Structure 1
Amino acid sequence: MSQPFTDIDSKALEALIARVTEAKDNHLALSASDCQLLLNALVTLSTMQSRLANHDVTVHKLRKLLGIEKSSEGLGKLLKKSKAEQQRKKKKGPSSKGEDFTPTKPKVVMHSHADLAKGALCPECQIGRMYKREPGSLLRITGQSPFTPEQHVMERLRCNACGAYATAPLPAEVLSDGDSNQKYGYSARALMAIYKYFAGLPFYRQGSIQKLLGVNITASTVFDQVEYVANDIYPVYQALVNLAADAVHYYLDDTTHRILDAKPIEKKARNSDKMKSRCGVYTSGIIATTLEHHSIVLFETNIGHAGEFIDSILQHRHKNSPKPIIMSDALSSNRPTVRVVIGSLCNSHARRQFVDVITHFPDEVEHILTRYAEIWVNDAHTLEQQMLPSARQAYHQQHSLPIMEEIKLWGEEHLSSGKVESNSSLGCALRYFIKHYEGLSCFCTFDGVKLDNNLIEAMLKIIVRDRKNAMFHKTLHGATIGDIITSMIASASEAGINVFEYFTTLQREKVQVRANPERYLPWNYLDQPGSLVN
């Protein structure tokens, strides 16, 4: 049983240190009270070391026991402290995942003396006895090849009577990473997929790097293993697509791509019933926010725009679901056609129109950008105050809508009076703002409408990174594999989980995944290998 902590305040401790130092310098004896105080301090230190070594006390509790922190259970102080902690976390950077991501903790390895122990004779002076002090510590980050070959040799015995063979079984930790006849483990396949579709490391480059590291893996082998990953995680991907159909809000955008064997196809032109030969390949991206505030990120690469992608999703929307909110830029190719929606437009696009002409019209544009910036300040305030959608909309209607109207009236006045030429670059920016004013100001009139489309544009950088490195997909089949894996990586990342462990678990439990994919949705997965929310 450990000794209790003794409450010694900092002033008493400093005075004791001064008296002990004076007694040591002048060869004086300590008083009985000082000896008792020193003994109490040593007992406290010994108890603290013991409890820390046994991991049976938290840092917060230790600070309380040592008198460093005076805590209160009063509701007012607790709420105040909670808000201060939230503000501290916000200063670190806002998390789009709803909670801070927990990094992997380092493995702790204890090293003990082989020939010394507590109470042993000092090897230096041969007089004193050794006692424990605070341990030394070294954090070592080690490097290794991503893919390490392991040759498992299983002992085999044979009966000399019947000829039957008996093969030693593989350990459980080996079988957890793949079947007994599987060369590339689930973990290796997961890394190959993440390297390709998140880090932008093409198949041939992965093969080249591994050759340098002494493990020869061809580009075609990497593709084959990645295809296994896509097959195993596909049921969860399809479940995400089904859930996205009834989302309440969508971010929508696309970016160009290339498929080598893509041939022109006869397809309806956007917003028209006429058939047209089309050959433009795009990767369309969607962030669908569900009623439970989960984010689903989906990509599709083919001949077609983002509007056609959202149409394919909204076709499966429940008839009784309310009108969804679609946030996009003002291109007509991004507008859905199969359902009635609340169409909102991106204010960052409108602002960019003015930023592009600031060198030619510095005074006019500075005035517009100064006023426009106040809208983002207002939006940041609603986030800091954690306002509900209805309260946020009311706040914007009171504080941001007058600014939007002021910019619109300013533009109309300058265009009509001839102060700004209609066909000038500034005139084009003003006409864009005036023409799309209703969609740009939608965040002031409807609950839940966002201010800009920046989130999906940032998410599309994953696609752009892969496109810049690999330059193209060879086939539509390869593009579909990339869409499935990239969508799952992005959705799992938005949920704040360990994607590597998540992909490994989905492969290991592929039979259960096919039977019940909803149980394996990213937000149902805990950031621990193989652990799921029931």
Structure 2
Amino acid sequence: MLNMADLPDDVAALKAIVIAAEARDQRKQERIDRLELLVAAFKQAMFGRKSEKIDPDQFELALEDIETAIAAIHAEDEALDPPKARPTKPRNANRGSLPKHLPRIEEVIEPEATVCGCGGGLHQIGEDVSERLDVIPAQFRVIVTRRPKYACRSCSNGVVQAPAPARLIPGGMPTEGTVAHVLVSKYADHLPLYRQAQIYSRQGIDLDRSTLAAWVGKAAYELKPVFNALVADLKRSTKLFMDETRAPVLDPKAGKTKTGYFWALARDDRPWGGTAPPGVAFTYAPGRSGQYADTILQGFTGILQVDGYAGYNRLIQPDRTGPAIQLAYCWAHARRKLFEVARNSTAPIAEDGLKRISELYKIEAEIRNLPSEARLAIRQNQSAPKIAAFETWLTHHRTRISAKSPLGEALKYIAKYWAGLCLFLAEGRIEMDSNTVERTIRPIALNRKNALFAGHDAGAANWATIASLVETCKPNAVEPHAYLTATLRAIVSGHKQSQIDDLLPWNYAAKV
């Protein structure tokens, strides 16, 4: 803001100030326009007609670009109008908080002089303290192990020496922590091994990609019993989710890739206050036949929440051998069918269906984290009448609309799985959709994009083993590098197979 006392008396100087102010205002308006365009572009990406076709990770990338651009504009604005010249109004910023466990390196900045102009000494009356996050690029270190040899000067009873400690890679250079770092970088941070080798080379450490692959293979082999324990623990549950996602695998004989699948088996009882820890186990299979799902689920009995893939029908066939399984279906997939119709044309019936489903989800949002009994009571009181009305609406419109039209196909899908879609009204532990398991396979899809394909079936199986443990760490608030390091050390130190459950991620969380 201009101070009248600072204005010159010269007319030409006044004109120059006015012109400069107008130019600054114009630049500010241009920056505002740029921000509005960025926000509009992001809204289009998020809510536009193609929103369900865009990968969620692309949303994150778009948001990063927008936030980066906004930060640059703020920096430009501050350069043109320094903070001291503006009213002191703090800008909203989410800087987070710095964890207490991080080491603090303190620096004290003293005034140039601590003697007053009158000659007396100044004494401290307070201080301003600020904290900034600093980072040192990943540093490698060498662990030198010395094992002294001792012998008696008075006799010849032999040499005494401590035994060599067990190692994951016998005679190799990596510690278990180094191997864990490679695993986390590949399966949690989605860095292929050849890129990791490039990173190491910048530190002067020349490691061939095949060497890293050998470490990963050895670790996968040693971790397989823990993976098997994870699968067994999940199958002891009475309520699970299941889904599958593509896993391109190189087929050397054909000179191209073939399509395998990762089958995800997930548990998350937190929305209804269950005490079983969350977890997910991926199993690689060379195909998508329901036979693979049946094999994976051998020994499981209870409710399985899935999408509408026909392969799961095998699990409820009367002639199937094994414990009984009940299928609960996914309202998110039912909604998606109607959404496809509504976004491609003017479809008031589809829009009405979407509104009805939205009302059901509003009830679900209110009962999340309540005990299963309370959830069930509220559903029977509030959701059941809406489901009854929905069924009447569905029957009415199916008689009026061609079954071969897009809307007719959407309504047919809902009717086909109606009993399983309504199962959440009879059991408070059931969710309305299978989004829980779909979230767990997103990292698999991202890793697939970066790695393009697995080298062979065995490689895909190793991928599934390690990814299962890494992804199970996340919902249990376990840091995967610390977990894998401790687990690999325990295994090479002779951890008993009879106590393998102690090495599951949630049991590690209970110890730390």
The residue number in structure 1 matching 2:420 is: 439
Cα distance change, pair 379–241 in 1 and its aligned pair in 2 (3 A):
same
Is residue 286–residue 297 contact of structure 1 (8 Å, CA) maintained in 2?
Answer: yes
Structure 2 residue 357 is the aligned partner of structure 1 residue 372: yes
Is residue 347–residue 452 contact of structure 1 (8 Å, CA) maintained in 2?
Answer: yes
Structure 2 residue 104 is the aligned partner of structure 1 residue 108: yes
Shift of 1:374: 0.7
The residue number in structure 2 matching 1:293 is: 276
Where do residues 22-421 of structure 1 align in structure 2 (5 Å cutoff)?
A: 105-110=101-106, 122=114, 127-128=120-121, 130-131=123-124, 133-134=126-127, 136-145=129-138, 148-150=140-142, 152=144, 182-261=172-251, 280-289=259-268, 292-305=275-288, 307-317=290-300, 323-335=301-313, 336=315, 337=320, 338-358=322-342, 359-383=344-368, 386-417=369-400, 420-421=401-402
| Deviation per residue, 1:345-382 (Å, 9 max, x gap) | 00000000000011323322221111110111111111
| Deviation per residue, 1:3-35 (Å, 9 max, x gap) | xxxxxxxxxxxxxxxxxxxxxxxxxxxxxxxxx
SS in 1 for 2:242: strand
Structure 2 residue 509 is the aligned partner of structure 1 residue 526: yes
1-side partners of 2:221 and 2:473: how far apart?
A: 17
2-side partners of 1:435 and 1:156: how far apart?
A: 74
Is residue 250–residue 455 contact of structure 2 (8 Å, CA) maintained in 1?
Answer: yes
Unaligned runs of 5+ in 1: 1-91, 93-101, 265-278, 318-322
Shift of 1:193: 0.6
Cα distance change, pair 403–157 in 1 and its aligned pair in 2 (3 A):
closer
**Paired letter, 1:127:** G
Is residue 247–residue 460 contact of structure 2 (8 Å, CA) maintained in 1?
Answer: no
2-side partners of 1:180 and 1:244: how far apart?
A: 33
Q: What's the TM-score, normalizing by structure 1?
A: 0.66
Structure 1, 240-249 or 408-417: larger mean CA deviation: 408-417
The residue number in structure 1 matching 2:443 is: 462
Shift of 1:446: 2.6
| Deviation per residue, 1:283-309 (Å, 9 max, x gap) | 111103577321220001121337444
2-side partners of 1:128 and 1:309: how far apart?
A: 82
Question: Which of the residues 488, 500, 505 maps onto 1:517?
Answer: 500
SS in 1 for 2:240: strand
Is residue 302–residue 326 contact of structure 2 (8 Å, CA) maintained in 1?
Answer: yes
Shift of 1:203: 1.4
Shift of 1:518: 1.6
Cα distance change, pair 135–188 in 1 and its aligned pair in 2 (3 A):
farther
SS in 2 for 1:509: helix
2-side partners of 1:187 and 1:217: how far apart?
A: 16
SS in 1 for 2:266: strand
SS in 1 for 2:403: coil
The residue number in structure 1 matching 2:487 is: 506
| Deviation per residue, 1:223-265 (Å, 9 max, x gap) | 112223223333322211221221121111101112224889x
1-side partners of 2:149 and 2:429: how far apart?
A: 69
Is residue 154–residue 168 contact of structure 1 (8 Å, CA) maintained in 2?
Answer: no
The residue number in structure 1 matching 2:63 is: none
2-side partners of 1:111 and 1:391: how far apart?
A: 55
Shift of 1:457: 0.9
Shift of 1:157: 9.9
**Paired letter, 2:371:** L
The residue number in structure 2 matching 1:275 is: none
1-side partners of 2:145 and 2:108: how far apart?
A: 33
2-side partners of 1:141 and 1:308: how far apart?
A: 52
The residue number in structure 2 matching 1:481 is: 462
2-side partners of 1:514 and 1:446: how far apart?
A: 37
2-side partners of 1:517 and 1:156: how far apart?
A: 34
Shift of 1:103: 6.0
2-side partners of 1:288 and 1:462: how far apart?
A: 17
How big is the alpha-carbon RMSD for the aligned residues of Structure 1 and Structure 2? Answer: 3.8
1-side partners of 2:289 and 2:127: how far apart?
A: 60
Shift of 1:310: 4.2
Cα distance change, pair 149–325 in 1 and its aligned pair in 2 (3 A):
same
Cα distance change, pair 157–505 in 1 and its aligned pair in 2 (3 A):
closer
Structure 1, 184-193 or 286-295: larger mean CA deviation: 286-295
Cα distance change, pair 520–442 in 1 and its aligned pair in 2 (3 A):
same
Cα distance change, pair 156–247 in 1 and its aligned pair in 2 (3 A):
closer
Is residue 476–residue 509 contact of structure 2 (8 Å, CA) maintained in 1?
Answer: no
Is residue 285–residue 292 contact of structure 2 (8 Å, CA) maintained in 1?
Answer: no
Shift of 1:445: 1.9
The residue number in structure 2 matching 1:25 is: none
2-side partners of 1:166 and 1:113: how far apart?
A: 55
Cα distance change, pair 326–157 in 1 and its aligned pair in 2 (3 A):
closer
SS in 2 for 1:282: strand
Cα distance change, pair 156–298 in 1 and its aligned pair in 2 (3 A):
closer
SS in 2 for 1:494: coil
Question: Which of the residues 437, 441, 451 maps onto 2:432?
Answer: 451
Cα distance change, pair 258–180 in 1 and its aligned pair in 2 (3 A):
closer
Unaligned runs of 5+ in 2: 1-93
Is residue 286–residue 298 contact of structure 1 (8 Å, CA) maintained in 2?
Answer: yes
Higher helix proportion, which one? Answer: 2
Matched positions, count? 396
**Paired letter, 2:302:** P
SS in 2 for 1:299: strand
SS in 1 for 2:261: strand
Question: Which of the residues 455, 464, 478 maps onto 1:497?
Answer: 478
**Paired letter, 1:410:** W
1-side partners of 2:195 and 2:276: how far apart?
A: 38
